[in-house]
């Protein structure tokens, strides 16, 4: 059966189906659809797009061909599936993405301040801690030849950097997790195992599918 549905009609259509196996590519909103369809009594499997690609039987790209490949892939007994994330796990991931973005913005801000100060002959060593310490000293130093205009500019940039510090601290960071194992499990990461002579050793970290 081939039936194309709009996003708005998908839920109603699937709700009227008897319990069945549903295969979906793992993408931005797949975790939400996983929860919706699972609550309806269906078995839902998420598959990484790169694992579906080998089952595509045509060079043409359209929804029907992709769906056929996905249907075949989900029924393979040795297929590796992506672990779905709960709404709480998605919340934490969002927090971490915001935090990572704030860290990058703070680094750019510190580098911008260093670059501007260098043009006035004032050197600030690399590192956020150096920037936090030196900027107030530079602003208060009346003998460094800086104009009042530039001091105000530095003060504003410094306040923005401190605001980013607060935002990063409030996001929790790794402290959200009790230990490294809990963090790795949430990320879906497991160490690669090597077994030889009855001894198992742990190697590099990799993405875990099941």
- pLDDT for 209 equals 43
Q: Do the beta carbons of residue 138 and residue 117 sit within 8 Å? A: yes
Q: What backbone phi and psi angles, to 5 degrees, belong to 28?
A: -55, -50
Please choose, from the candidates 21, 205, 170, the residue with its C-alpha nearest in 3D space to the C-alpha of residue 98: 170
Q: Do the beta carbons of residue 65 and residue 130 sit within 8 Å? A: no
Enter the pTM of the model.
Answer: 0.57
- pLDDT for 139 equals 92
Q: At what angle do helices 128-140 and 148-170 cross, to 10 degrees?
A: 150
Q: Is the predicted pLDDT of residue 162 greater than 60, yes or no?
A: yes
Please tell me the total count of domains within the chain: 3
Q: Is residue 114 part of a domain?
A: yes
- pLDDT for 170 equals 72
Question: pLDDT digits over 30-87, tens only?
Answer: 999 999 999 999 999 999 999 998 888 877 778 888 888 999 999 998 899 998 888 8
Do 156 and 120 fall into the same domain?
yes
In order of 6, 64, 136, the CA distances from 3 in angstroms are: 10, 9, 65
Q: Is the predicted pLDDT of residue 150 greater than 80, yes or no?
A: yes
- pLDDT for 86 equals 85
Do 92 and 169 fall into the same domain?
yes
What percent of the chain is modeled with pLDDT above 70? 80
Q: Is residue 80 part of a domain?
A: no
Do 141 and 192 fall into the same domain?
no
Which of 41, 74, 107 represents a domain boundary (last residue)? 74
Q: Is residue 82 part of a domain?
A: no
Q: Do the beta carbons of residue 17 and residue 9 sit within 8 Å? A: no
Q: Which domain holds residue 149?
A: 88-173
Mean pLDDT is lowest, of 34-43, 60-69, 177-186, 197-206, for 197-206
| H or E element in which residue 46 lies | strand 43-47
- pLDDT for 117 equals 92
Q: In sequence order, what are the residues at sequence separation of 6 or more whose Cβ sits closer than 8 angstroms to the Cβ of residue 47? A: 23, 24, 25, 26, 70, 73, 74, 79, 81, 82
Q: Is residue 2 part of a domain?
A: no
Residue-wise burial string across 78-107, b where 16 or more C-beta atoms lie within 10 A, e elsewhere:
ebebbebbeeeeeebeeebeebeebbeebe
Q: Bigger pLDDT: 100 or 46?
A: 46
Q: Is residue 79 part of a domain?
A: no
Q: Bigger pLDDT: 10 or 193?
A: 10
Q: Is residue 17 part of a domain?
A: yes
Q: Is the predicted pLDDT of residue 198 greater than 90, yes or no?
A: no
Please choose, from the candidates 155, 152, 156, 157, the residue with its C-alpha nearest in 3D space to the C-alpha of residue 106: 157
- pLDDT for 28 equals 83
- pLDDT for 200 equals 46
Bridge partners for 162 per DSSP: none
Cα 197 to Cα 206: distance, rounded to the nearest angstrom: 23
- pLDDT for 202 equals 45
- pLDDT for 172 equals 61
Mean per-residue pLDDT of the chain? 82
Written as six digits, the tokens of 53 are: 């690609």
Q: Is residue 157 part of a domain?
A: yes
Do 126 and 70 fall into the same domain?
no
Do 25 and 67 fall into the same domain?
yes
**Banded model confidence at residue 210, pLDDT cuts 50, 70, 90:** very low
Q: What is the average pLDDT across 175-180? A: 56
């Amino acid at each position: 059966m081939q039936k194309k549905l709009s996003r708005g009609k998908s839920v109603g259509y699937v709700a009227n189906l008897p319990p069945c196996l549903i295969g979906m590519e793992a993408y931005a909103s797949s975790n939400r659809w996983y929860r919706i369809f699972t609550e309806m009594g269906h078995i839902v499997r998420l598959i990484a797009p790169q694992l579906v690609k080998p089952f595509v039987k045509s060079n043409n790209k359209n929804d029907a061909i992709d769906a056929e490949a996905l249907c075949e892939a989900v029924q393979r007994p040795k297929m590796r599936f992506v672990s779905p994330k709960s709404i709480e796990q998605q919340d934490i991931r969002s927090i971490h993405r915001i935090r990572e973005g704030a860290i990058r913005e703070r680094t750019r801000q510190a580098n911008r301040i260093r670059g501007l100060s260098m043009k006035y002959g004032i050197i600030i060593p690399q590192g956020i801690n150096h920037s936090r310490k030196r900027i107030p000293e530079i602003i208060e130093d009346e003998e460094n030849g800086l104009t009042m205009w530039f001091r105000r500019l530095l003060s504003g940039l410094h306040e923005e950097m401190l605001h980013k510090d607060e935002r990063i601290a409030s996001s929790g960071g790794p402290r959200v997790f009790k230990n490294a194992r809990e963090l790795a499990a949430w990320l879906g990461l497991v160490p690669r195992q090597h077994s030889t002579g009855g001894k198992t050793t742990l190697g590099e970290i990799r993405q875990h599918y099941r």
